[in-house]
């Protein structure tokens, strides 16, 4: 029997990372944040002076970039031997990651790397295309979502706690709305509810409740 894979997609701020990390910890699975890889690419692209339209260049950069994860909670993320865990979490990098991720060349490189990482199973992974493209054969597929207001509030609080910028709530909300729209309407593998995926609403539910709801979807024998 192949090892368990739990794939979670959903819009920004739905709680995917928190829930996926909790599931990985409870179930002894590895955790893969695919968005962090797009963010690392965006950081490198921004340093190289690339624009959001530089799809070809960004795809080439992605091929050569050595992105890896280290220990820690959340796991650290590295480009070569540089720890970029904090730098990739700004709204600007999130925005550029979203823009660059619309380019099919970029997606091809990322998806290939992600599929290689989870090939042997034993993973919980999250992103925007993990249930539809990266791991469509996952035993558990979830579309985690909440209202824009709830997601923006959560993200705003998170950023305050991490000391990441002074962005106004209303501005953050607007940025998230724009990013969601782009992620949902892009031509190549848009964020969508995959066939066989379960929609889970995280609004108003404590993390533990969401985690338990997802655990209940694990087929018998795993």
Binding site for ligand DC (CB under 6 A): 12, 34-36, 38-39, 94, 97-98, 101, 127-130, 179, 183
Backbone angles phi, psi at 199, to 5 degrees: -85, 125
- Residue number, 128 or 156, with CB nearest to ligand DC: 128
- Residue number, 15 or 214, with CB nearest to ligand DC: 15
Other beta carbons less than 10 A from residue 53's beta carbon: 12
Q: How far is CA 20 from CA 72, 101, 141, 142, 187, in A?
A: 15, 21, 12, 11, 26
Closest distance to ligand DC from the beta carbon of 129 (Å) = 5
> Which distant-in-sequence residues (6+ apart) come within 8 Å of 153 by Cβ?
169
Closest distance to ligand DC from the beta carbon of 221 (Å) = 28
Side-chain half-sphere of 195: how many Cα atoms within 13 Å? 3
Closest distance to ligand DC from the beta carbon of 220 (Å) = 29
Closest distance to ligand DC from the beta carbon of 39 (Å) = 5
Q: What is the dihedral of CA 50, 88, 108, 185, to 10 degrees?
A: -90
- Residue number, 94 or 222, with CB nearest to ligand DC: 94
- Residue number, 127 or 216, with CB nearest to ligand DC: 127
């Amino acid at each position: 029997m192949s090892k368990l894979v739990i794939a979670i997609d959903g819009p920004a701020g739905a709680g995917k990372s928190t829930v996926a990390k909790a599931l990985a910890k409870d179930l002894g699975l590895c955790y893969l944040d695919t968005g962090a890889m797009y963010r690392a690419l965006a950081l490198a692209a921004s340093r190289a002076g690339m624009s959001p339209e530089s799809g070809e260049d960004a795809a080439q950069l992605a091929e050569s970039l050595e992105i890896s994860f280290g220990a820690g909670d959340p796991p650290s993320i590295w480009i070569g031997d540089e720890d970029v865990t904090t730098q990739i979490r700004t709204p600007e990098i999130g925005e550029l990651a979203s823009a660059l991720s619309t380019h099919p060349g970029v997606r091809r490189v990322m998806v290939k790397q992600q599929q290689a990482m989870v090939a042997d199973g034993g993973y919980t992974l999250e992103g925007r295309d993990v249930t539809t493209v990266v791991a469509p054969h996952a035993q558990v597929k979830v579309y985690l979502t909440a209202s824009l207001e709830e997601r923006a509030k959560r993200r705003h609080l998170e950023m305050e706690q991490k000391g990441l910028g002074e962005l106004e709530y209303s501005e953050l909300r607007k940025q998230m709305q724009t990013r969601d729209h782009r992620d949902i309407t892009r031509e190549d593998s848009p964020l969508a509810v995959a066939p066989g995926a379960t929609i889970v609403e995280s609004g108003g539910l404590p993390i533990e409740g969401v985690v338990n709801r997802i655990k209940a979807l694990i087929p018998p024998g795993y």
